[in-house]
Structure 1
Amino acid sequence: MQGGSQLSDILNIITQIMFMAFLFMAFTGADQRLRMYLWAKNIKARMEEIKEMAEESKKESIEVLKKLGVSKAEDLVNKLSEFFTISPVDIEPTDITKRMAHIFRTGLRRWEKEIDKNLTEQIPKANKHNALVLIEITNSLNMIYKIIRHYLLYALKNNNLFLIMQLWMIMPQITKMSKTLRNAVDTFKNCRPVGDSVGPLVAYRLMRNKRRLWRPAEDTVAGEVDVDGRNLIVVKAEGPGATVGNPGEAIMRIVEERRGNVDLILTVDAALKLEGEESGSIAEGSGAAIGDPGPEKIAIERAAAKYGIPLEAIVIKMSNEEAITDMPKKIAEAADKVVNMVLERVKELPKGATAIVAGIGNTCGVAQ
């Protein structure tokens, strides 16, 4: 009985101490400082992971450039990993897509010139495109790390609990995205098709029996195929290097050359699946399926609208991770299904009709 009374007294003392500690922390703000410390520690740990991935990506990029015969490869990667692009003024929307396209192409040409002027000998364009993508991944990882570091230091400097809490809550997604980018390095380094290559893969399979092949736009090819008396023009980025080409500009030129005598424009592209959807599932719709910031998409839309050409789309769904890493088997199998769907759609047109089919996406590992 006496032992039970002593135990009860001890428990009461512990409860009172805990209650007093709670009141102390609540009134002094010590609980908030403790939470900030724990959250900041977690953020720093994940931030170091991202920094390590950025360093690994940088090393891989330097090694690839050295193998290609680029002198001062380390200086070049360090320089381009800090490269940035300023979006055009959008307050005045007139010709914004034209300005946007000019800015993006200026950046791409600058990167190419930086590599060219450090080359000891000429290299295939495909190898150059693959190297550019590796540097772009390094640039992205470097920027992610620096932005996370900025917000963390800013929040600690200003004792901003809510900013640290928000950063802590989104760090799992940011870390996952960074790991995906890091895994993509091996894929592009070895020029293997990625999930986003499914559009060009469909185009490649459609143009196997092409009558002729030409380049309607920079880094973009077109092939002409006969489909039971219908003229099929297939457009894709020029492979097998890692590039998306300029499909919008190519389609616009082809339509103008034919003075609008085109009966269908059909785009095939990868699409980000929703949670719960199956990778490799296929959906059809209307409009231009292309994920560029605007210039290429609007070129397709303007060409179709100007001449009243039906604009249709087929998308193959996948996750963000699948889009930039090795193409999964389900995605490759979906490409075969889409090829048959495209041919069936073209055969619905009358004899003598002309259709343009564009395989949109990064053509890494997919030739023509």
Structure 2
Amino acid sequence: MIMLEQISLQGILNMLHILMVTIFFLYGQKIQLTITLRRLGGMVLRLERMRDEGRYKTVETLSQFNNDKQTIEKRVDRLLNFFIISPVSLDPKGIIRKIEHQINNYDDVLKQEVVSLSPAADKNQVNTMSNLLEVSSALDMMHRIARHFYISGKNKGNILAITQLQIFLPMILDAAEAYHSALNAFCKGLTIGDGFGPLVASNLMKGNNPIEIAKDTVFGNVSIKGRKALVVKAKGPGGNVGKPGEAIKKLVESNKNISLIITVDAALKFEGEDSGEIAEGTGAAIGGPGVERYKIEGVATEHNIPLEAVIVKMSQKDAISEIKPQITEAVEKVIDRITRIIEQRTRKSDTVVIAGIGNTLGIT
């Protein structure tokens, strides 16, 4: 009797094993797809919540200057979809001027829209709210991209599309979380990590009355170790990156004895590196589409002026959220490095240009 029960139990277990193997063999891919889609759906939902919060904070900030909230909501929804089309690059001649024209046009239209929605806001507030609108627009675009691939893969059961989304969605989510963390800083006008360059320039220009030399860009004249230093930064305290390339070009053309150009900027760190680490190099330390860097490199090459760069490393999240103490602490260290570079690379009575590159939000 016991032997029969053991045989019967063993037979049941064998049947269950065969059944499970058969199910996984026939439906394994669908089961895996369902589990993956559920996890990816949760990520897309997180992106949607961040997008909604960005929209809400943008509307609330603009509403401080305009009581017509319904109009603001409609215009914000329209502006979140506002885009810029890159110029044709089949013939590369003149491409930089085309890109610059498109960027200037985009910025002007965006700021005009903000002014029309908040006529009582001053220029600094308009610049900051334009930045906030761009952050919200980026969150909206990331959500749209993720949702598109998620729905496409789900509706068609396309395992390849789902696999691609499984690879890229965590990276999109990381970028979205970085932009989401920036909302608070732009709503309150707080200095962000990307403002490290302007913060260094502002410290160098203390006690100086800066002069506007290019659109939304100022410079101050200071003395460093017997050298004349022309310090450039974007005009604050509103959210603004200015035109540092144009400013440096004008300074070089009006001061024929410039012997060195130093750019200071924030840079993305590698995983494993600490935020606030400092590095030196050559070239123009400036990000973006390349228009301003092109101008700096062009005028430096034309006048045979060496280009030196000092960067402070940080994550993408650190760069666009409120500046961290360890990054602020690096300001004096960078100034010391700039002083050493000037002493080593130039002679007394020489003129140097120091450009603090980045968003000058919260920095005068």
TM-score (norm 2): 0.94
Question: Contact 1:53/1:141 (CA < 8 Å) preserved in 2?
Answer: yes
Which of 3, 14, 35 is the aligned partner of 1:38? 35
**% same residue:** 34
Quick check: 1:209–1:225 contact (8 Å CA) kept in 2? no
Work out the number of aligned pairs and report it.
361
Residue equivalent to 1:2:
2
Q: How far, CA to CA, are the matches of 1:77 and 1:96 in structure 2?
A: 31
Gaps of 5+ in 1: none
What is the rounded CA distance, in whole Å, between the counterparts of 2:317 and 2:280 in structure 1? 22
Unaligned runs of 5+ in 2: none
Say which is worse superposed, 154-163 or 234-243, in terms of deviation: 154-163
1:310-352 CA-partner distances (Å, limit 9, x unpaired): 0010000111111111111110111110011112222332121
2:114/2:129 contact within 8 Å kept: no
- The 5-angstrom pairing of residues 1-368 of structure 1 reads 2=2, 6-7=5-6, 9-26=8-25, 28=26, 30-69=27-66, 71=68, 72-121=71-120, 123-210=121-208, 212-259=209-256, 261-348=257-344, 349-367=346-364
Q: CA 1:288–1:9 in structure 2 vs 1: closer, same or farther (change >3 Å)?
A: farther
- Do 1:129 and 1:241's aligned partners in 2 also have CA atoms closer than 8 Å? yes
Q: Which moved more, 1:72-81 or 1:167-176?
A: 167-176
> How many Å separate the matches in 2 of 1:91 and 1:19?
61
**Match of 2:117, SS?**
coil
Change (3 A) 1:221 1:24: same
Distance 1:366 1:8, change over 3 A: farther
Pick closer, same or farther for the CA change 1:42–1:352 going to 2, 3 Å: same
Specify whether residues 166 and 10 from structure 1 end up closer, same or farther in structure 2 by C-alpha distance, changes over 3 A only.
farther
| Aligned-partner Cα distance in 2 for 1:141–1:46 | 13
**Aligned-partner residue type, residue 231 of structure 2:** V
Q: CA deviation at 1:65?
A: 0.5
The amino acid across from 2:336 in the alignment is N
RMSD: 1.8
Structure 1 residue identity aligned to 2:219: A
3-state SS in 1 of match to 2:279: strand
Query: Taking structure 1 as reference, are residues 15 and 268 closer, same or farther at Cα in structure 2, changes over 3 Å only?
Result: farther
Residue identity matched to 1:285: G
Shift of 1:196: 0.9
Q: Is the 8 A contact 1:50 1:175 kept in 2?
A: yes
CA 1:21–1:231: 2 relative to 1, 3 Å: same
Q: Tell me by how many angstroms 1:24 deviates.
A: 4.5
Greater displacement, 9-18 / 70-79 = 9-18
Secondary structure of the residue aligned to 1:84 is: coil
Distance verdict in 2 for CA 1:204–1:120, change over 3 Å? closer
| SS of aligned partner of 1:117 | helix
Structure 2 distance, partners of 1:265, 1:153, is: 51
1:120 Cα deviation (Å)? 4.0
Question: Which is further off, 15-24 or 242-251?
Answer: 15-24
Take 1:7 and 1:107, find their aligned partners in 2: how far apart are those partners? Answer: 78
- Paired with 1:329 and 1:342, the residues of 2 have a C-alpha distance of 21
Inter-partner Cα distance in structure 1 for 2:67 and 2:283: 42
Q: Which amino acid aligns with 1:205?
A: N
